[in-house]
Amino acid sequence: LARIDNTLSFDSSWDKKTGFRTRQILAVPIMYENRVMMGIIQLLNKKTGDQFTAADESNVAEVAKTLATALHTLQRLTWRRPGKFDYLRIQDLITDYDLNNAITDARTQQTDVESMLVTKYRIRKEDIGVALSMFYKCQFIEFSEKITVPPELLANVKVDYLRKNYWVPLARRGKTVEVLIDNPHDVQKVDNVKRLFAGHEVRFFVGLRHDILQFIDFHSGDSAETGSIASMLGELAEEAPVDEAEEGAAGEVDFNDSAVARIAP
């Protein structure tokens, strides 16, 4: 100990209390990625009475490395509330450091985190889709020209409103309307959608904002100029701000407003 620091000395109080005599100590730090201290492995007195060898040190260091990874994973699962990108982190597709930077970059550039992950951090859209599907507990859908949106679902909806709020109706199956949305947990936005399709059940799917805009542009036709019930509501909507936990909170809408009251079934 003196070779490391003159102020270091062995604390014999534990030996005095227990009657155990410490002759040897092999201590190895539990370090995650050689930068985060998570604990120490300490071995006392080799059973054979011999000194700890370099091989012993190497073996304990390997155990410490494995233990650090396990403890780090456990911390991520137990210390954090569920996040949209837990799947990416758990699968080691992105580090916490890069994810935090992506969130900061998205806020700075006024875009969504998913787009930043795809363009800057080269995360596959398919992997982001799995993460979103697991978090929102609904199916992920990406843009495809093979998905044909019935024209009547868009005929009475103002395109600007859809673009600002990042959702688009995809299909009607009996009494159910299927809607692709960027944030199925956004209560205000979800309620607005359900009001627009009053009398129908609404099934939500999650998608990337870029893909939602592609659907809108691909299928909108002349609906951008159509005056409608949805248009009146669209005039009251505000574009959602970027948020690191759940992007896309809908703009405030006062349902006591006369323009909105006329939408009621």
Q: Are strands 201-206 and 167-173 parallel, antiparallel or unpaired?
A: unpaired
Tokens found for residue 34: 């050689």
Which among 216, 215, 257 has a CA at the least distance from the CA of 236? 257
List the chain domain ranges. Answer: 13-79, 86-134, 138-261
Report the pLDDT averaged over residues 17-39.
Answer: 88
Instruction: State the pLDDT at residue 224.
Output: 39
| Res 228 pLDDT > 70 | no
Exposure string over 97-125, b if 16+ CB within 10 A, otherwise e? ebbeebbebbbeeebbbbbbbbeebebeb
**pTM over 0.85, yes/no:** no
Instruction: State the pLDDT at residue 64.
Output: 93
239 band by pLDDT with thresholds 50, 70 and 90:
very low
Task: Report pLDDT digits (tens) over 30-64.
Answer: 999 888 888 999 999 988 888 899 999 999 999 99
Helices (H), 80-146: 86-90, 96-109, 113-119, 125-136
201/173 Cα distance (integer angstroms): 10
Phi, psi (rounded to 5 degrees) for 207: -150, 170
Instruction: State the pLDDT at residue 34.
Output: 81
Task: Report pLDDT digits (tens) over 113-129.
Answer: 999 999 999 999 999 99
Strand spans (E) along the chain: 25-32, 36-44, 167-173, 176-181, 201-206
Does domain 13-79 fall under CATH 3.30.450.40? My reply is yes
Tokens found for residue 62: 């390997």
- Could you identify the residue written with the tokens 């036709």? 221
For residues 162 and 184, the answer to whether their CB atoms sit within 8 Å is no
8 band by pLDDT with thresholds 50, 70 and 90:
confident
Q: What is the CA radius of gyration of the chain?
A: 28
How big is the chain, counted in residues? 265
Close Cβ partners of 151 (under 8 Å, ≥ 6 residues apart): 219, 221
Report the pLDDT averaged over residues 57-74.
Answer: 91
Name the more confident of 224 and 104: 104
Q: What is the mean pLDDT of the chain?
A: 82
80 band by pLDDT with thresholds 50, 70 and 90:
low
CATH number, span 138-261: 3.30.300.160
